[in-house]
Amino acid sequence: MKPAPFDYLRAMTTQHALDALAQHGEDARVLAGGQSLMAVLNMRLAQPRMLIDISRTDELNSVRVDHKAGLLAVGAAATQGSVEWRESLRDEVPLLAMAFPHISHFQIRNRGTVCGSIAHADPSAELPLVLAALGGDVMLRSKKKHRVVPAGEFFQGMLMTAREPDELVEAVRFPLKRPGERYGFTEFSARHGDFAMAACAAVVTSDSIRLAVGGVADRPVVEQWPRLRDEDLRSALNDLSWKLGAQDDAHISAAYRRHLVRQLGWRVIEEAK
């Protein structure tokens, strides 16, 4: 299928994009890497009248480390590849470095943006899961205001977020590696690069476990425990697997998804390094 007709605007500055969003609101969509949006348009799941292309908005193409604030800030036009291929990423945000290779193939990551994946909010996507696991946040900007929304409030359901129609996801911020934290990431998919049927990210310290699960509920779900071990951990993972409300779908059963949560959850916590 082909998309319904639309007007196209290439925003050369952030202000240009914000003005267009203010003017067109619900009738507009931001075009970043186009790796999710073009499929949505081709299937006519959305029929916006205006596409606002930010892929060449230089001011938004930034990746900055703020050591004082302890954050890695990724601007809206920065591709997933431009973050993944930073030599220092493994020291800055190890969990992000672990997750990137699971996102499709490098051709997709070469065009797709980090902010686009967060804005799209696919429950199986890796980047929302990492942002939720680390307790990062989303910087939203409209013509009228700026606001910062924690990941836990930003993701509101399948492809649903706290973003208003006139807001741009200007940047997302991932907390830098904190002393004493160890990390784990794993997922299960039919083939390497496919969307995850279940994915787990863990942040483990000597006295706590934070486990985030994607691909099961309608958004990433984060659970915080003390440093559970053995049967206590198995029992907590079993409770979580039921709490997520797994559903049968064309690929796997709800029971198998619960099994994946228990197995992958155990593995990432044990392997956190």
Ligand X SMILES: Cc1cc2nc3c(=O)[nH]c(=O)nc-3n(C[C@H](O)[C@H](O)[C@H](O)COP(=O)(O)OP(=O)(O)OC[C@H]3O[C@@H](n4cnc5c(N)ncnc54)[C@H](O)[C@@H]3O)c2cc1C
Residues in touch with ligand X (CB under 6 A): 29-37, 76, 103-104, 108, 112-113, 115-117, 119-120, 125-127, 168-169, 193, 195
Exposed / middle / buried, residue 88 (Cβ in 10 Å: 0-12, 13-18, 19+) = exposed
Question: Which two three-digit tokens encode residue 5?
Answer: 């007709």
CB of 208 to ligand X, least distance (A): 27
Q: Based on CB atoms, which residue is closest to ligand X, 32 or 213?
A: 32
Shortest Cβ distance from residue 195 to ligand X (Å)?
Answer: 5
- Comparing CB distances to ligand X, the nearer of 130 and 202 is 130
**Which residue in the shown chain puts its C-beta closest to ligand X?**
112
Residue holding tokens 């619960």?
258
Say how far apart CA 4 and CA 148 lie, in whole Å. 34
In the complex, least distance from residue 86 CB atom to ligand X, rounded to whole angstroms? 18
CB nearer to ligand X: pick between 113 and 236 = 113
What single letter denotes the amino acid at residue 257? R
* Residue 258: alpha-carbon gap to chain centroid: 22
Q: Which is nearer to ligand X, 26 or 239 (CB)?
A: 26
Least distance CB 126 / ligand X (angstroms) = 5
Q: How far is the CB of 183 from ligand X (least distance, A)?
A: 18
Alpha-helical regions (H) of 85-141: 89-92, 94-99, 106-111, 114-120, 126-134
Residue 180 φ/ψ, nearest 5 degrees? 85, -10
Distance CA 185, CA 144 (A): 38
Quote the least distance from Cβ 11 to ligand X, whole Å.
11
Residue with smaller CB distance to ligand X, 120 or 210: 120
Token pair of 68 as six digits: 């004082």
Gyration radius of the chain over CA positions: 19
Give the Cα separation of 167 and 148 in Å (integer): 12
Residue whose CB is less far from ligand X, 182 or 194: 194
Distance between CA atoms of residues 117 and 193, nearest Å: 15
Supply the minimum distance, in Å, between the C-beta of residue 125 and ligand X. 3
Do the beta carbons of residue 62 and residue 84 sit within 8 Å?
no
What is the rounded distance in angstroms from the CA atom of residue 179 to the CA atom of residue 62? Answer: 26
Pick 95 or 168: Cβ nearer ligand X: 168
Distance CA 150, CA 170 (A): 14
